[in-house]
Amino acid sequence: MSVAAPAREQTRARYPDAEGYVERDGVRVSYEVYGDAPTTFLLFPTSPISHSRLWKAQIPYLSRYFRVITFDPRGNGKSDRPETPEAYSYWEYVQDGRDILEATGTETALLGGICDGGGWALMLAAIHPTAALGVAAIAPCVPRLTPTHPNHLRYPSDVPLDTDEGWAKCNVHYWRRDYRGFLEFFFSQQIPEPHSTKQIEDCVQWGLDGGPESLVLCDEEAPAPFATEEEARELMGRIRCPVLVVHGELDGCQTRERAAAVAELTGGTLVAFEGAGHLPQARHPVKVNELIREFGQSLERRTM
Amino acid sequence: MSALELAGARREQTRARYPDAKGYVERDGVRVFYEAYGDAPTTFLLFPTGPIAYSRLWKAQIPYLSRSFRVVVFDPRGNGRSDRPDTPEAYSRWEFAEDGRAILEAVGADTALLGGLCHGGGSALMLAATHPAVALGVFTIAPFIPMLTPEHLNYRMFPFDERLETDDGWAKWNHHYLHRDYRGFLEFFFSEQLREPHSTKQIEDCVEWGLEGSPDALIISRAAPPPWEGEEDARALCSRVRCPVLIVHGDLDGCQTRERAAAVAELTGGTLVTMEGTGHLPQARQPVKVNGLMREFAESIVPPKPKVKTWTRALSRPRRALYISSPIGLGHARRDVAIAKELRKLHPDLEIDWLAQDPVTRVLEAEGERIHPASAELANETTHIESESAEHDLHVFQAIRRMDEILVANFMLFLDLVREEPYDLWIGDEAWEVDYFLHENPELKSAAYVWLTDFVGWLPFEDGGEREAFVTADYNAEMIEHIARFPRIRDRAVFVGNPDDVVPDRFGKGLPRIRDWTEQHYDFAGYVTGFEPVTDREQLRAELEYASDEQVCVVTVGGSGVGEDLLRRVIDAFPETKERVPKLRMVVVAGPRIDPATLPSHGGLEVHAYVHDLYRHLAACDLAVVQGGLTTGMELTASRRPFLYFPLRHHFEQNFHVHHRLERYRAGRRMDFEVDGPDEIAAAIADEIGREVDYLPVETDGAARAAGLIGQLL
C-alpha cells in the first residue's frame, strides 16, 4: 500500500502549537499539542484503521478550554509502522499515551478515546490512577469484557473466503486485495446515519493513510491484552476516576452491552445516543463536544 | 414584638413544599427553629439573613433544591419561630454561624453545602473558615463580611443613633425611625433592595417577613459585639476558606457592594457571578437563574449518581408536543383535549404528553391521554386556589400572586423535564409559570411555544383601591414589556374567542387598550366548547329521563369547593320556586369537593354528588343556575339554554371578562350574590325557565382553528 497518493489534507480550523515524537524500543509515535490551558485532555487515537484526525471536530473547541493532546497510532499517520505483532499490543498504545504525557510535562490529564482508544484510555486510568482525572470513552473496546460484536464473528477473519459480501470483507485476505473496498464498507456500516458521505470519505482517507499490514498486525496478530473476561472486569473495577461512556445504538463495532459493562464496573455514566452509529464524534460533533467539555470541566472544578 | 402585631400578619400562603422534619436547637437558652426538606444524602444548609427576614426568603429555592439535596433552613435569632433574646451578645455574628453548626449536628450531617444571603452569606463563610471539615462548598449571595471593605454608602449617609430632622430615604435607617414606623422602614428598605421593576410581590413578601420580627431585634443585633477587630481579620477569615466558593452579586445591590463581593471571591479563590440589572435579592426576583446556579455549583462538588441518559439524533426523534394545561378552572381540560384531537388529525404521527395536575388529569385519564409521569411531582394549584376562597369570594388576582412559590417550583419541574426530553412544541393553556419564566429567562426556550388564553389583562376591583389598580397595571405592564422585548418567545398566541370577546378596558393608567393590543398580538381561534352540539334535545331529555312536561333546573358550581354558599342559597329558594313553577324539577350537582349530605334537603329536590357528562344535562335543561365561570356559561350559550349566573366576588375574570363575553352573546342573566336572596332567585328562575333565547350562535370549529394555528409550527 502506497501512502504517496493521499488527497491533500483539508484546511484545519486549528493547527497544533507544538508537535513531537516519543520513541520507545525504536518505534516513534507522533503527537500534537493544542493550546496551553492548565488542564490537559489527552485524546487517544483508535487502531491503525485511522489516526489523530478523527478528533478534528473536537480539537478546535476543546483546546479553548483544555490543552488538547492527540497522537497517531503505531501503524498510521505520522507514527512509525513497526513490523512485529508485539509492537501492536494494546499495552504498547497505553504506554505510548503515558510516554506522551511525560514528554509534555503532564502529571495528570483527562483522557478520551474512541473504540480501541477508549479501551486504552481506560487501561491507562486503571494502571496509573494518579495520572487520570477522568475518562471519556466513546464505544470503548475492552476485549473479552463482553462478547465481541456479532458483525466481527460472521466470518473467520484470517482464512480465505469464497465470498466478499458484507462482513466477509473483514478478512485479512480481502484487506490485502482491496483495502479501500474494505474501508468503504466498514465505515458505511459504522456511520449508518443517513447523509454521512463526508464523514465516510474522511474515514476512508484516514484508513488509506495507513494500510492493511498494520491492521493485520494490530487486529489479528498482536497478543491479547487480557486472557479472560475476569481479567477485563478486574481491570475496569480498578478505575477510580469518573468515567463517561457514550454509545450509539446503531454501533456496528462495539455493543451496548460492552458500553454498559464499562459504565457499571467503573461507576460511570452512560449516555446512549439513539439513531447514532459508532462515530458520533464525527457525525454528532456538537453534542459530543458539549458532553466532553461538560465532563472535563466538572472534574476540573472539583480538583481546584 | 407584641402579640397584637403578630396577629395582624397575614396567613402564610400555600407552600410548594412542606418540611419533612422540623425542630429546635438550643444554645445558651436561645432556641433556634429549623426545617429539613427531603432525604437526599447531601445536605444543603441555607442560612437566613439577620432578623430582618427569616427562612421563607428561600421559598423559591427549597422545592427545587430539595429534589436533589436535603435542604435545611432555619429562622434567625430575632425572627420567625426562633427566640428573640434581648442581649446584644446573643446576636453576635458567631452565634448565627454556630447556630448553623448546631443544626447540622442536630440533623446528623457531618458535612454540608452551605448557602447564605447577605448576613447569612457571611455566616456561611465564617462556618466554612472555622470548620473546614464541615463545609463542602459555600454558595453566597451578596455576602456581608463586616469590615472586609467599607460599608455600602447607603448605610453611611445618616447616623443610626441620633435623632434626625428628616425621614427621607436612608434617613429611615435610624434607631428612632425604626421605632416610629417599622413598616415604613421595611417598605423603603426592600424597595431599595428589589430595584428591578415589577417587584411588588417580592417587596410585599419581604415586608411581611420583616414584620414578623421587630425593630428591637434589628437594633439590638446591630449593637452586637463585632466578630473581629478590623479589615485584616476579615481578610484572614476569608483566606481560611478552603472549599469551593461561588459568589453572586447584583449590580444594583443597595446593601452590599460589588467591591466586597469581589474581595470575598479573591480571598477565597471563589468564582464571582455578577447579575446585571439585579438588586440585593436575586433568589427572590431571579429565582430560575439562581436555582440553576445553585444546583450546578452543588453538583460540581457533589456529582449526582451516575446514570444512563439518552440523547436522540435530531432526525431520529419522533414528533412530540408537551401540553401544559392549567388546572385553574376545570374548563381548560376539555377544550385542550379537543384541540389535541384536532392536532392529531393534522399530524397523525404527533405524540402528545401532558403536564397537568388534578382535576385536569381526571379528564385526561378518561380520554386515554398520556400524562407525563413528572406531573405527579407538580405542586397543586387547585388546593391553593381553594384555600384562598371565602364565602362566594375568590380574589383570583391575589390568589395567583400568592401562588408565586408554586409557580416557580412547577416551572423548575417543567425545565428539568424539557432538558431531559426533547419536544418539538410546548403548548401552554394559561400555563402562567411557563409563559412568565420563559420571558424572564428567554435563553431557556428550546422548542416552539404556543400560548393559549381566554382572557387578556388583569383588572382591579374598586374596593382594592389605588393599590390594586397600581399592582394589576404593573403586572400588565410587565407582560406587555415581555412580549415587546422578546417576541420570539411566543411563536403563537391564541385567544380562545373572537376580538369582540376582548374587554374594552385599558391595561391600566397610561397603558394601551386591551382590545387593540390583543388584536395586534394574538390570533383568534373562536370559542372552543370541546363537545359536539346536541342536535336532538328531545332525544337527549329522554335519555336523561327528563319528562317532556318537566321544567328542569340544573344547579351546578363546577368542580371546586368554592360554590357551596351559592348551592345553599339556591336550595333555600327551592320551596318558593316550586310554588311559582309547579312543574319544576331542580337537580343540584354538588361536585367532587362538596358532600351532598351536608346540604339542606327538601321534598322533591334532587342532590347529586356527580353526574356523568354534565354538559349533556346542561344542554337538556330548561334553566341552569351557575357561577360566573367561562366554560359553563359558554356551554349553556352554545346549547341555547337560559341561565342565571353569579360571578364570584373579587373574581375579576368572572366579573369583567366572562361577563363582557356573555353580554356580547346576549346570554344569561347576571345575578349578584350580595343582594339576590332566595326571593330574588325564585323570581328570576320563574322568569327565565323555558324561555326562548336569542343568543348569538357559538362556532363549532374553534378546536380545529386553534389546531390549525398550532400545527403550522410542527
User: Mean per-residue pLDDT for B484-489?
Assistant: 98
Superfamily grouping for domain B22-301: Alpha/Beta hydrolase fold, catalytic domain (3.40.50.1820)
Instruction: Report the residue of B113, B313, B320 to disrupt the A interface, i.e. the one with the largest count of A CBs within 10 Å.
Output: B313
Residue B531 C-alpha cell reads as 363537545
Alpha-carbon distance of B703 to B714, in angstroms, equals: 17
B22-301 shares its CATH topology with B315-529+705-711: yes
Q: How do residues B78-121 score in pLDDT, each as one tens digit? A: 999 999 999 999 999 999 999 999 999 999 999 999 999 999 99
Taking each helix axis as running N to C, give the angle between helix B702-711 and helix B331-346, from 0 to 180 degrees, rounded to the nearest 10: 60
Nearest Cβ partner of B310 from A274, A301, A302?
A: A274
Q: Which of A177, A178, A174 is nearest to A156 (CA)?
A: A174
Task: Please name the residue ranges forming H helices in B317-431.
Answer: 331-346, 360-366, 381-387, 396-401, 404-420
Q: How do residues B338-388 score in pLDDT, each as one tens digit? A: 999 999 999 999 999 999 998 889 889 999 999 999 999 999 998 898 889
Residue A103 C-alpha cell reads as 514528554
Q: How do residues B13-71 score in pLDDT, each as one tens digit? A: 999 999 999 999 999 999 999 999 999 999 999 999 999 999 999 999 999 999 999 99
Alpha-carbon distance of A45 to A88, in angstroms, equals: 13
Q: How do residues B439-455 score in pLDDT, each as one tens digit? A: 999 999 999 999 999 99
Alpha-carbon distance of A132 to A239, in angstroms, equals: 9
Nearest Cβ partner of B301 from A268, A272, A302?
A: A302
pLDDT at A302: 54
Judged by phi (left if over 0) then psi (alpha if -120 to 50, else beta), residue A79 lies in beta
Chain A residues in contact with chain B using a Cβ-Cβ cutoff of 8 Å: 193-194, 242, 260, 263, 267-276, 284, 287, 298, 301-302, 304
pLDDT at B530: 86
Minimum Cα–Cα distance from B137: chain A residue: A302
Fold classified for B315-529+705-711: Rossmann fold (3.40.50)
Instruction: Report the residue of B246, B308, B419, B421 to disrupt the A interface, i.e. the one with the largest count of A CBs within 10 Å.
Output: B308
Give yes or no for residue A4 having a pLDDT over 50: no
Query: What phi, psi does B386 have (nearest 5°)?
Result: -65, -35
- We report the CATH number of the domain holding residue A62 as 3.40.50.1820
pTM score above 0.90: yes
pLDDT at B6: 38
Nearest Cβ partner of B310 from A194, A263, A272?
A: A272
Buried b (16+ CB within 10 A) or exposed e, A77-98: bbbbbbeeeebbbbbbbbbbbb
Alpha-carbon distance of A187 to A217, in angstroms, equals: 20
Residue B445 C-alpha cell reads as 426556550
Q: Are B139 and B294 in contact (CB under 8 A)?
A: yes
Q: Are B649 and B397 in contact (CB under 8 A)?
A: no
Q: How far is A192 from chain B (nearest CA, A)?
A: 12
* Terminal CA-CA length for chain B: 60
Q: Do A268 and B306 touch (CB under 8 A)?
A: yes
Q: Do B313 and A194 touch (CB under 8 A)?
A: no
Q: How do residues B525-583 score in pLDDT, each as one tens digit? A: 999 998 888 889 999 999 999 998 999 999 998 766 788 899 999 999 999 999 999 99
Q: How do residues B600-639 score in pLDDT, each as one tens digit? A: 888 889 999 888 788 899 999 999 999 999 999 999 999 9
Give yes or no for residue B8 having a pLDDT over 50: no
Provide CB contacts within 8 A for B712, sequence distance 6+. Answer: B492
Give yes or no for residue B7 having a pLDDT over 70: no
Report DSSP state, residue B151: P
pLDDT at A6: 52
Confirm or reject contact between B318 and chain A (CB < 8 A): no
Please, which residues bridge with residue A271 across strands?
Answer: A246, B309
| Total domains in the fold of chain A | 1
Q: Do B303 and A242 touch (CB under 8 A)?
A: yes
Nearest Cβ partner of A287 from B308, B311, B317?
A: B311
Distances in Å between the Cα of B560 and the Cα atoms of B363, B388, B553, B566, B593 are: 15, 12, 20, 12, 6
* Secondary structure, 3-state, chain A: CCCCCCCCCCCCCCCCCEEEEEEECCEEEEEEEECCCCCEEEECCCCCCCCHHHHCCCHHHHCCCCEEEEECCCCCCCCCCCCCHHHHCHHHHHHHHHHHHHHCCCCCEEEEEECHHHHHHHHHHHHCCCCEEEEEEECCCCCCCCCCCHHHHCCCCCCCCCCCCHHHHCCHHHHHHCHHHHHHHHHHHHCCCCCCHHHHHHHHHHHHHCCHHHHHHHHHHCCCCCCCHHHHHHHHHCCCCCEEEEEECCCCCCCHHHHHHHHHHHCCEEEEEECCCCCHHHHCHHHHHHHHHHHHHHHHHHCC
How many Å is the Cα radius of gyration of chain B? Answer: 29
Q: How far is A295 from chain B (nearest CA, A)?
A: 10
Q: For residue A85, is it within any domain?
A: yes
Q: What is the DSSP string of B318-335?
A: PPEEEEEE--SSTHHHHH
Q: How confident is residue B204, by pLDDT bands cut at 50, 70 and 90? A: very high
Cis peptide, bond prior to residue A160, ω within 30 of zero: no
Buried b (16+ CB within 10 A) or exposed e, A168-187: bbbbbbbbeeebeebbbbbb
DSSP H or E segment with residue B37: strand B30-37
Q: How do residues A89-102 score in pLDDT, each as one tens digit? A: 999 999 999 999 99
DSSP H or E segment with residue B664: helix B659-664
Q: For residue A3, is it within any domain?
A: no
Confirm or reject contact between B303 and chain A (CB < 8 A): yes
Q: For residue A118, is it within any domain?
A: yes
Q: For B537-688, which CATH class?
A: alpha beta
User: Mean per-residue pLDDT for B681-708?
Assistant: 96
Give yes or no for residue B668 having a pLDDT over 50: yes
Residue B513 C-alpha cell reads as 387598550
Alpha-carbon distance of B287 to B296, in angstroms, equals: 14
Q: How far is A7 from chain B (nearest CA, A)?
A: 31
Q: For residue A1, is it within any domain?
A: no
Task: Tell me whether residue B163 is exposed, middle or buried, using C-beta atoms within 10 angstroms of its C-beta: 0 to 12, 13 to 18, 19 or more.
Answer: exposed
pLDDT at A301: 59
Nearest Cβ partner of A298 from B300, B311, B316?
A: B300
Q: For residue A10, is it within any domain?
A: no
Give yes or no for residue A5 having a pLDDT over 70: no
Q: How do residues A181-218 score in pLDDT, each as one tens digit? A: 999 999 999 999 999 999 999 999 999 999 999 999 99
Give yes or no for residue B327 having a pLDDT over 90: no
Q: For residue A5, is it within any domain?
A: no
Residues of chain B with pLDDT > 90, as a percent, come to: 89
pLDDT at A3: 43
Q: Do B309 and A271 touch (CB under 8 A)?
A: yes
Q: How do residues B386-436 score in pLDDT, each as one tens digit? A: 889 888 899 999 999 999 999 999 999 999 999 999 999 999 999 999 999
Confirm or reject contact between B300 and chain A (CB < 8 A): yes
Give yes or no for residue A33 having a pLDDT over 50: yes
Residues of chain B with pLDDT > 70, as a percent, come to: 98
Minimum Cα–Cα distance from A288: chain B residue: B311
Q: Which of A103, A110, A96 is nearest to A66 (CA)?
A: A110
Q: How do residues A156-177 score in pLDDT, each as one tens digit? A: 999 999 999 999 999 999 999 9
Q: Are B206 and B281 in contact (CB under 8 A)?
A: yes
Q: For residue A7, is it within any domain?
A: no
Q: Which residues of B touch A263 (CB under 8 A)?
A: 306, 308
**What is the dihedral sign for C-alpha A134, A137, A143, A148?**
positive
Q: How confident is residue B330, by pLDDT bands cut at 50, 70 and 90? A: low
Minimum Cα–Cα distance from A301: chain B residue: B300
The angle at the Cα of B442, spanning B441 to B448, to the nearest 5 degrees, equals: 130
Q: Do B244 and A301 touch (CB under 8 A)?
A: yes
Residue B509 C-alpha cell reads as 393608567
Q: How far is A176 from chain B (nearest CA, A)?
A: 36
Q: Do B308 and A263 touch (CB under 8 A)?
A: yes
Minimum Cα–Cα distance from B303: chain A residue: A298
More confident residue, A140 or B609: A140
Q: Are A293 and A61 in contact (CB under 8 A)?
A: yes
Nearest Cβ partner of B307 from A194, A269, A276?
A: A269
Residue B228 C-alpha cell reads as 473581629
Q: How far is B303 from chain A (nearest CA, A)?
A: 8
Q: Are B462 and B501 in contact (CB under 8 A)?
A: no
ipTM: 0.88
Alpha-carbon distance of B552 to B685, in angstroms, equals: 11
Q: How do residues B237-256 score in pLDDT, each as one tens digit? A: 999 999 999 999 999 999 99
Q: Which residues of A touch B299 (CB under 8 A)?
A: 298
Q: Which residues of A touch B310 (CB under 8 A)?
A: 271-274
pLDDT at A7: 64
Give yes or no for residue B701 having a pLDDT over 80: yes
Q: How far is B311 from chain A (nearest CA, A)?
A: 5
What are the structural domain ranges in chain B? 22-301, 315-529+705-711, 537-688
- Single-letter code of the amino acid located at B341: K
Torsion angle of C-alpha atoms B134, B139, B142, B145, degrees rounded to 10? 20
Compute the half-sphere exposure of residue A292: CA atoms within 13 Å on the CB side of its CA: 34
Q: How far is B518 from chain A (nearest CA, A)?
A: 40
**What is the dihedral sign for C-alpha B636, B640, B642, B648?**
positive
Q: How far is B294 from chain A (nearest CA, A)?
A: 14
Mean pLDDT, chain A, rounded, equals 95
A-B interface: how many C-beta pairs under 8 angstroms? 54
Mean pLDDT, chain B, rounded, equals 95
Domain extent for A76 = 18-302
